[in-house]
Amino acid sequence: MSLHDLIEPNAILPSLKVSTRKQALQELSERAAEVSGLPAREIFDALLQRERLGSTGVGGGIAIPHGKLPRVDRMIGLFARLERPIDYEALDGEPVDLIFLLLAPESAGADHLKALSKVARALRDQRLTARLRATRDASGLYLLLTQSPTHNAA
The per-residue pLDDT for range 78-128, each reduced to its tens digit, is: 999 999 999 999 989 999 999 999 999 998 888 889 999 999 999 999 999
The H or E element containing residue 65 is none
Q: Known catalytic residue: 66?
A: yes
Strand, coil or helix: 109: coil
Domain locations in the chain as residue ranges: 3-147
Class of the CATH domain delimited by 3-147:
alpha beta
For residues 141 and 135, the answer to whether their CB atoms sit within 8 Å is yes
Which H, E and C letters describe 57-71, residue by residue?
Answer: EEECCEECCEEEECC
Per-residue model confidence as pLDDT tens digits over 9-52:
999 999 999 999 999 999 999 999 999 999 999 999 999 999 99
Which helix (H) or strand (E) covers residue 25, if one does?
A: helix 21-36
